[in-house]
Every structure is written in structure tokens, then in C-alpha cells.
Amino acid sequence: MAAMTLTYRYPPAVAISQAPTPAQMLGHDRMVVDAVTDGTQTIVQIPHDMGCATTTGNDGSPEVSPVILAMAGATVVDLKVAFVDKNTISVVPAKAATAATWRITIKRPFSVGQ
């Protein structure tokens, strides 16, 4: 298994193993992706192609909400998020040696779907 496997859940036009294109994100206010780690602490980039106004996320765009779905062991492992550019975030488990699954929702703030 790779250090982190991404499975794209929404929008529905997206193939489950490929990030959405800007055309596929048109008309959608969010993207949902499941991230499964084998316990390796590796940074993974997740393109969302929402074309946010800033590259730093300092305007609150996009909103990133990771929710842990499963983990090995009794210690909850957080997921660190960083903004790479206006179309990409990066994620990395806060600590290594714990396999876990997160559902990450990347959402445009103040969108109609809220």
C-alpha cells in the first residue's frame, strides 16, 4: 500500500482514483475525499480545483474539514492541513505509526450549498 491512498467521493463526475478537473468542479460547492494512511507520515497533495481567491487560505477559503472514520490503536491521530496554492491543499498525519482513515471535505465558504 502507498503511504496514503485517496478515494474521491464527491462530486459524482469524478473517477474515484482521480482528482476533479476545473470543469468537473463547476456547479459544485465542495469536494469529498477519503484518505487512508498505512501509518507512514508522508505529505500528500490533494487538488480541489476550486480556484480560490488566495493561495494561503487566509481568507477562510476553502474550508477544510477532516473527520476520522477509522484508526488502528487507541490514540486519535490528527491530520495536518496546509494550503499549497489556490487549487491544492496538502495533508499529513500528525504522527507516524498509526494507520487511519479520514473523510476530508473541502468546501467553498458562503456557497449556496451551505
Model confidence over 5-40: pLDDT tens digits?
A: 999 999 887 778 888 888 888 888 899 999 998 878
| C-alpha to C-alpha distance for 68 and 94, rounded to whole angstroms | 13
- pTM to 2 decimals? 0.87
- Residue 82 CB partners (closer than 8 Å, separation 6+): 89, 90, 91
In the numeric block, which cell numbers belong to residue 35?
Answer: 484518505
Which domains, from first to last, does the chain contain?
4-107 (2.60.40)
| C-alpha to C-alpha distance for 9 and 80, rounded to whole angstroms | 20
pLDDT of 1 over the 60 cut = no
Query: What is the pLDDT of the chain when averaged over all its residues?
Result: 84
Give the three-class secondary structure for 79.
Answer: strand
Query: Residues 37-53: what's their mean pLDDT?
Result: 86
| C-alpha to C-alpha distance for 96 and 107, rounded to whole angstroms | 27
**Cα 69-23-64 angle, rounded to 5 deg:** 30
| C-alpha to C-alpha distance for 78 and 61, rounded to whole angstroms | 21
Percent over 90 (pLDDT), the chain: 34
